[in-house]
Structure 1
């Protein structure tokens, strides 16, 4: 690749930046979090441009490995958008680089931006003559094409090689980033194309379902987002329902009406409101699930025989997956070679934690909220299962676990069958990140093998009643948590934690905590107790404590 003189590089960065100025009142307010940057789309232009600069720097720092950029605001309203970076193995951006994204986004002027950029080049020892490679995609939001233009300006200014994969789900981009960077190695993850993604999942699904068939049909609510067209495409690669494929009814898949995205539908609506989308026509006992706007979350649900709504959220998917994988490890004769563990956050229902430890006999680790923390902790197990209650999660197999699975010699036909299914799961699961389409197939495989209806899945344990409340505060940064408590205890404001503990002590099976949102000036209060009324009372009492301290 030809050399880039520092001067011409600076000029190109500055000139392109002039097209994407930051409103003065927003300087200093941008913060890169777990979801990257996420806000109203009309104030995102400069941020996306600057994230593009960082993507080039990150790739050059890693000697030309490909970095991903995803433009999406997931479950947020249609008028929002966002942008985040994907590291070479399809994982989230390395946490230590988040502050560099924040620094670039908050540069006060074009000149200041060039200064911050050059300081990063120097501090990080980035060779600007090294190649930079970036691939990117967007969801179906109307603002996507304009923001892609901002990103392209940055990639052109920094002379990065790039590929536009247009509209994809977020997990599909994560998958492609890993495929690109592992191509031609022993860790090759799959074919570098959207088609390759569908073919890999479909082949694994067929292998996993070799000795069983799905029961009944499944209604999938696609949040009127990118998951709709991509699910319909995936279904073309699966066997027909008569041949052992899925009998799927796709609803809320209108991507042409911008205002319908996530409106009264999608995983976040279902989880937050504890009810099916109003458009749902499912009858009692019908198996249903909802994806979120960029198809990286999924929750299942059904109406029971008394027409009561029953949610099967991320906790339920985690327990289902962990129990099935541990079962397959035992049945294939691999249990002594594989440690299966489950990673949860403080939001996981206490009943699920008890079930995993006591009924399944598996190890549990609790981490702070945020996929990056869960994913990192999951990699410490041979097989790490993690799902947030909101339905975002996956299963991670370590290199030694994959080797053990692929080299194991079964001692009986029964062991061979279990091993074949376990092998299939290693391909069926998108190990880079939570993936609603992959997780949908995983749940369907497990329910078919266990012969479970949704009601039987629900009966594995009984959730403690719980309540999640959002409290707006003047400054979310006032609320910090004690290191090492997985965000279950407040360090500040002083006195708030003691007040919360006094209130919690009054309730049977009471548990509550408060943590600041990563994206807005709000604090989320979680509470659980032995009855619904007590859980609501406890949540209200803790919310009042937060309001008191948040007003100071």
Structure 2
């Protein structure tokens, strides 16, 4: 039986708390400078093993990554048995354990064991993965020490994308019913699904099976190469920013989305299709330049609408009645929401920012498509939907309906349902573009995004902000929402909101309008009001 006194001794001797600042476990887990995280990674190893014991030995995942953050940062998040985010009731315990002083550590551990009635004699197992940061191997060692301190078993996958680790955890706990819990199994599942769908689509005149992918100098480069090699001549994938430069520096999905231009080092050629991953390959955005050398971004909103239009058509061809819905956040472009509701006739739900909120809401639909505008998202198929699809495959008397149902069933295997996955999402987009026989410009024409701008204002204390209406309305500071409303009235198709960061004392300003100039001016006006009414620090943001 694991002894909590031994756990505490190892913590104090090998992984003592070396910082005084308080860190919160949020949607992305913990993130900070890598030099501040050793004791937290040890403690999360312990917590993951305890979580496993509380789930009767089911494997829990620990991913070491800071996603799109700078290279000197790192972080950690826990993954629950079916590949989902850590259950929210455990987040506060993760925060307490991470911030406890060395002398309080055992007391907090004991409280967790007592709260969840954990049988310390129960076996536990933890799957561990990490991104390519130089600090990751050392932090991996801290996690392993934590798991072993409570007699847990480790499955160390080494360098792996975040969504791949989510996939592995689900495979292990479903006894490989979801797929084989190996990189080979992951690649086989996705590549087999793509090839099976494509072979029934016939030749295409417009669609071009070629894409150039910016991998942000992160782990996605190696893992994309694993699967790209399986496509022979049916899909050409060129990999750029494969590790020769600095992680996430002037490249990657976040850089492209925020700056609305291609990554440095890639000269966008007219009509060529490009995509950018983030550092741990769970976000993706697409882009191209037109004949006038104008940059066009196709972000998470565009991906969600493309997927929804494809699924609607396929569901109708199957003759099935399935409840399909799309989940967005306040950052979704207003025209994307209008297109979904008015053209696709699909219900839209808006939730607070954070994948856990979108994932939870998507589960309310038989087929739930969720994407944040930043390119993080996936598709969830309920047991009810899968049962209806399977029944149509086997019992439909209409040959056309049966073929469509088989395509839909195969499409399910192309989706990593555990979390947003850059590789899976890229293959999904390629498959749908091929099905529609579209090039990237055809896709972009489905609807026109409103011009938008995202700015950041530094404030003394982000805790003074309080929002409601899925973060679209600010309640505090008093008077700020009225100021925003007054600014919005001055701009055609104007919309703006402010949202405090969950990890630092900054406030994000989002604005959109009919032209880029108007969107910029609206964002700057709201930023100044926020600065004045909320105790801004430093310089006002500029463009």
Please, what TM-score do these two structures have when normalized by structure 1? 0.94
Aligned partners of 2:4 and 2:109 also within 8 Å? no
SS in 2 for 1:294: coil
Q: Are residue 161 (structure 1) and residue 145 (structure 2) matched?
A: no
Q: How far has the Cα of 1:332 moved from its partner?
A: 1.3
Residue range with higher mean Cα deviation, 80-89 or 420-429:
420-429
Of 117, 129, 132, the match for 1:140: 132
SS in 1 for 2:103: helix
Kindly report which structure 2 residues correspond to 1:464-503, keeping only aligned pairs within 5 A, or say none.
464-482=450-468, 485-503=469-487
Q: Are residue 198 (structure 1) and residue 198 (structure 2) matched?
A: no
Aligned partners of 2:18 and 2:39 also within 8 Å? no
CA distance in 2, matches of 1:413, 1:452: 26
Aligned partners of 1:220 and 1:290 also within 8 Å? yes
CA distance in 1, matches of 2:100, 2:517: 49
Q: Are residue 370 (structure 1) and residue 354 (structure 2) matched?
A: yes
1:129-157, CA deviations, whole angstroms, 9 ceiling, x for partnerless residues? 11111110100110011001111111121
1:384-414, CA deviations, whole angstroms, 9 ceiling, x for partnerless residues? 0011111000000001101111111334333
1:435-485, CA deviations, whole angstroms, 9 ceiling, x for partnerless residues? 000000000000000011111111111111111111111222211212xx1
CA distance in 2, matches of 1:234, 1:10: 46
1:76-108, CA deviations, whole angstroms, 9 ceiling, x for partnerless residues? 111111100000000011112111111011102
Q: How far has the Cα of 1:505 moved from its partner?
A: 2.2
CA distance in 2, matches of 1:455, 1:316: 12
Kindly report which structure 2 residues correspond to 1:107-506, keeping only aligned pairs within 5 A, or say none.
107-108=100-101, 110-183=102-175, 188-212=177-201, 215-238=208-231, 240-241=232-233, 245-254=234-243, 260-334=246-320, 336=321, 338-408=322-392, 409-482=395-468, 485-506=469-490
Q: How far has the Cα of 1:111 moved from its partner?
A: 2.1
SS in 1 for 2:23: coil
1:338-385, CA deviations, whole angstroms, 9 ceiling, x for partnerless residues? 011100000000000000001001111000000000011111101100
1:304-327, CA deviations, whole angstroms, 9 ceiling, x for partnerless residues? 111111001000000000000111
Aligned partners of 1:333 and 1:410 also within 8 Å? no
CA distance in 1, matches of 2:210, 2:496: 38
Q: Are residue 58 (structure 1) and residue 28 (structure 2) matched?
A: no
Give the paired residue count. 530
Structure 1 segments unaligned to the other structure (5+ residues): none
In structure 2, the partner of 1:23 is: 18
CA distance in 1, matches of 2:19, 2:125: 32
Aligned partners of 2:466 and 2:476 also within 8 Å? yes
In structure 2, the partner of 1:43 is: 36
SS in 2 for 1:236: helix
Q: How far has the Cα of 1:216 moved from its partner?
A: 4.1
CA distance in 2, matches of 1:549, 1:31: 26
Of 505, 509, 512, the match for 1:521: 505
Q: Are residue 13 (structure 1) and residue 5 (structure 2) matched?
A: no
Q: How far has the Cα of 1:232 moved from its partner?
A: 0.6
SS in 2 for 1:369: coil
1:2-50, CA deviations, whole angstroms, 9 ceiling, x for partnerless residues? x33xxx3323333334322223432xx1111111011111111111111
CA distance in 2, matches of 1:329, 1:190: 25
1:147-197, CA deviations, whole angstroms, 9 ceiling, x for partnerless residues? 01111111121111111110100000000000011116xxx2011111100
In structure 2, the partner of 1:70 is: 63
CA distance in 2, matches of 1:495, 1:282: 44
CA distance in 2, matches of 1:17, 1:125: 25
Q: How far has the Cα of 1:536 moved from its partner?
A: 1.1
CA distance in 1, matches of 2:293, 2:518: 24
1:275-296, CA deviations, whole angstroms, 9 ceiling, x for partnerless residues? 1112113410001111110000
Of 485, 501, 524, the match for 1:540: 524
CA distance in 2, matches of 1:64, 1:326: 40
Aligned partners of 1:14 and 1:111 also within 8 Å? no
CA distance in 2, matches of 1:385, 1:345: 12
CA distance in 2, matches of 1:127, 1:496: 51
SS in 2 for 1:432: coil
Q: Are residue 82 (structure 1) and residue 78 (structure 2) matched?
A: no
Q: How far has the Cα of 1:535 moved from its partner?
A: 1.2
CA distance in 1, matches of 2:37, 2:534: 28
CA distance in 1, matches of 2:406, 2:284: 26
SS in 2 for 1:97: helix
CA distance in 2, matches of 1:421, 1:147: 43
CA distance in 2, matches of 1:547, 1:413: 63
Please, what TM-score do these two structures have when normalized by structure 2? 0.95
Superposition RMSD in Å: 1.4
Aligned partners of 2:215 and 2:239 also within 8 Å? yes
1:250-283, CA deviations, whole angstroms, 9 ceiling, x for partnerless residues? 11112xx5x6111121111111111111211341
Residue range with higher mean Cα deviation, 517-526 or 207-216:
207-216
SS in 2 for 1:331: helix
CA distance in 2, matches of 1:90, 1:524: 30
